[in-house]
Structure 1
């Protein structure tokens, strides 16, 4: 059970409420004051972390790390097993057992009860549903093409009330504003909830804004601020945005088209920054801002043409791992930029310590380290990341595209990375490895693993000391792949080709 200590001394101040906002697919390299003035103001009033890293390059395993304080190979949630197992303690459970009201608003269809993320929430709302329902048509939203969307609709329509399901499909696919993927409705709902709630209990609020995720379709007024000179909104939004088809060379994108896509992506970040401003105003109007720790992070980054990739799969470059992270409130109020290496899985230890909550069960399982200025936890001298299984799988790519390029076949591997302040080393269970001196090669263009083989070996040894050797880990995953998942989840994953 969690305990709410309610400490409030000068050296270890606590807060009453905790708000965690995830900007889905937000990469650190694209964040600046012109783009995101609200986040910049929060950083000036709080504490920004310049070297914050995800544990994985995509939503499901990254959120699992945020919720449990564990690495992907520890929580086991990845492309080969897409369910957060019930024996893992979660951050919302810790807050709930400490007496907090726990509210979640998810605009990403992976973060739902179907994949094990509802535990501990009093209410976890689905932003793509016009009518909140236990029968979730999120498989339609996740479908990567019309065939998958149609199959998901056909197979799930009668799971529960077909009229409600049909209304939710129509809303998510045709009625929901094309320039908003749920952020506006989420902000409105949170404002209504805060305005009507009983204020006696502290609260933990989690919110995922998915706008920066493909497809980039920001409001026109935002897009026109960030598109390259001479590029029209119509031309930019007409560009095909299908990362897996791009990977498989079904179509190509020119440098100018990628420049327009980067403009749309930046516009999406600017739009969610506006929603951050609305959330802050809502908390101020409700009289809760001064008593709240407000945390904003990306769950992973994005490639928009960098390293030959589009999207956030199949690699562990910093482009998909380095994310924005800002704390504001409680002890995080000096505006000092911190440059130490931190991980998103450090959030549980930090949030609980700042809220004065101790949860022995969560603490026992985690690899989390508190970033609280009064914490006794050691600073990290390295961060780690993992890509446990390709997502989508190579089999699924072949099912969709037929013969796929040899380059794409090489993505059928498990990857791990270790990054210190000076070096970044990535290796795969197929013998792949890269070494970068990040101080002189921050964009990771030059592989020096052959020229500095001893350093590569030293960093690989550190990875094997922290985790099982890659080959052994892969064999273990194969042996344990047949994990029991709830029936509804199995059906949905099968529809989308994951099982």
Structure 2
């Protein structure tokens, strides 16, 4: 009996060893037998919240082509961006780092320190031909993301054009692909279409007339279908790693925000992330937390490239094996410094799969599993958890905020400034890099209505839509109301000066303009407008002084167009002539 028992135990042990060996062999075989990755295609959908894709649960079939890629690959159901703004989000996507590390916090940040290595630079060093084709001038090469790309296509068909349709992006990209098909390539495609204003082409405008935003996403999905077809026609599809993601989401009125940039609630932060590997037919849905900063280390692992030191992204490649990693309690950083434009507090956040903490004047804590809409603030109900997350957030900032990099305050050139204004982005002052936990400042939540109204007025002013006395009178009334809410915001007084000047209310324009200068001295346009107002009431000495001050700024501010400088010289000459007459 003892001998038989021992024999059975030995047989059982041998069976376990054999089973384990077969499992290991299958894992290795799956990875080694898969076709090699020869090409990498990274597709970024601007302003794309995940829940508007049908593979992420949207009720209507908006994204059949992305769905098809997900059925052959890996869909990460909880993917976040670190910031709800296009330029800094793409900087994170292409460097594997968060904004406190790479230093871009808004769409007008020109400076990009040479120490930051992009995915394109890594792949170029590996021997890849690298090409980027962008859908809007917000990713113009002047902002530094062309680093590592052999071709960076931001030249649009029409001169002065600030954005282009995804099909135009594809046409330029396909012409490049045809020339590179015999080489390993890294292709980066950026589709801007889902960004407001929402105006999809037909038939998507009619099919999704109840939600033009969904129509825009359906249209870019159609264009992704074109990319897949092109790769297949060039015999590149089966050897391509295809990644589809978004830079940030869209609030669509939730929490009072119409678009994005201001808040860091989930609708602005959750994005799609789908990986399609060569030879894969996995159809795996992965529920662990992921981020767009994970793309760089993941691609590096898949291509056997050493990732850059100091990046914050996580390698997701282990999820593509038969033995995915154990779930971990991961926390991701997110931010919006946009409220600091209004001298409000920053919004600094930390999110896990279940919990979300937001540090600001009145901190917020949400249970995302029970309250995905972030409606019930649990800070007072769970102070200990809030404190733990606050401390963890402080540690992340301490470890990642750039020390001694000496970021320059590089001004935008006139052309880039014009493009950003055309896209509705420039308005207000620059953000402040404020990572302090100062709860004495105003809370952004209290001024979301102010932000919406002010942004609308700025867009109308910068796009020459404030025409006609009725519209100007309505704008004046809005400005007067906003001044009561935020009487120390200098940009409001600049806007009020502009409107009063348009209405030929010169005394009011002077009053508002001088107040703006006491709050923040020195801007070309404000001195120019004050000069015109003083000239209209025949205070020529005061007018001459303002035009002279305006001209002093042309010497150090290269964003001022030559035509504006000529106008200032002309106005000053006219004033000097008037003074001689009197």
TM-score between the two structures when normalised by the length of structure 2: 0.62
Contact kept? 2:231, 2:237, Cα under 8 Å:
yes
Shift of 1:480: 7.7
Contact kept? 2:93, 2:295, Cα under 8 Å:
yes
Contact kept? 2:83, 2:89, Cα under 8 Å:
yes
Mean Cα displacement is larger for which, 343-352 or 367-376? 367-376
Shift of 1:37: 0.6
- The 1-side partners of 2:340 and 2:380 are apart by 31
2:111 corresponds, among 69, 77, 83, to: 83
Shift of 1:328: 0.6
Pairing 1:457–2:387 present: yes
SS of the residue 1:338 aligns to:
strand
Pairing 1:53–2:69 present: no
Shift of 1:193: 2.2
SS of the residue 2:40 aligns to:
strand
Partner of 1:125: 153
Pairing 1:32–2:23 present: no
Distance 1:461 1:38, change over 3 A: same
Pairing 1:346–2:346 present: no
Partner of 1:153: none
Partner of 1:11: 31
Contact kept? 2:118, 2:148, Cα under 8 Å:
yes
SS of the residue 2:243 aligns to:
strand
Shift of 1:22: 0.1
- The 2-side partners of 1:46 and 1:208 are apart by 21
- The 2-side partners of 1:273 and 1:357 are apart by 30
- The 1-side partners of 2:301 and 2:368 are apart by 32
Partner of 2:136: 108
Distance 1:357 1:480, change over 3 A: closer
- The 1-side partners of 2:127 and 2:236 are apart by 17
Contact kept? 1:105, 1:186, Cα under 8 Å:
yes
Pairing 1:95–2:117 present: no
- The 2-side partners of 1:36 and 1:351 are apart by 24
- The 2-side partners of 1:83 and 1:213 are apart by 24
Shift of 1:421: 2.3
State the Cα deviation string for residues 288-331 of structure 1 (Å, max 9, x = none): 00000011001100011111111111111010111011101237
Mean Cα displacement is larger for which, 71-80 or 283-292? 71-80
- The 1-side partners of 2:317 and 2:39 are apart by 16
Partner of 1:259: none
State the Cα deviation string for residues 427-475 of structure 1 (Å, max 9, x = none): 12xx3311111111011111111111111111111111222299xx7xx
Shift of 1:419: 1.5
- Point out which structure has higher relative CO (alpha carbons under 8 A, 6+ apart): 1
- The 1-side partners of 2:77 and 2:268 are apart by 15
SS of the residue 2:316 aligns to:
coil
- The 2-side partners of 1:198 and 1:213 are apart by 31
Measured on the aligned residues, the alpha-carbon RMSD in Å equals: 2.9
- The 1-side partners of 2:199 and 2:123 are apart by 35
Shift of 1:70: 0.8
State the Cα deviation string for residues 226-270 of structure 1 (Å, max 9, x = none): 233xxxxxxxxxxxxxxxxxxxxxxxxxxxxxxxxxx00000000
State the Cα deviation string for residues 17-37 of structure 1 (Å, max 9, x = none): 100000000001211151111
Partner of 1:168: 159
SS of the residue 1:219 aligns to:
coil
State the Cα deviation string for residues 30-84 of structure 1 (Å, max 9, x = none): 1115111111111011111100111111111111111111111011111284432
Structure 1 or 2: larger helix share?
2
Partner of 2:410: 485
Partner of 1:445: 375
Partner of 1:22: 44
Partner of 1:182: 165
SS of the residue 1:35 aligns to:
coil
- The 1-side partners of 2:414 and 2:104 are apart by 14
Partner of 1:245: none
Pairing 1:383–2:315 present: no
Shift of 1:388: 4.9
Partner of 2:497: none
- The 1-side partners of 2:84 and 2:405 are apart by 22
- The 1-side partners of 2:305 and 2:325 are apart by 16
Shift of 1:191: 2.2
Partner of 1:424: 356
Shift of 1:413: 2.4
Shift of 1:198: 5.3
- The 2-side partners of 1:195 and 1:339 are apart by 37
Partner of 1:65: 92
Contact kept? 1:62, 1:300, Cα under 8 Å:
yes
State the Cα deviation string for residues 156-178 of structure 1 (Å, max 9, x = none): xxxxxxxxxxx512xx27xx8xx
Shift of 1:377: 8.1
- The 1-side partners of 2:153 and 2:214 are apart by 27
- The 1-side partners of 2:379 and 2:138 are apart by 36
Structure 1 gap segments, 5+ residues each:
1-7, 131-166, 229-262, 395-408
Shift of 1:357: 2.6
Shift of 1:347: 0.2
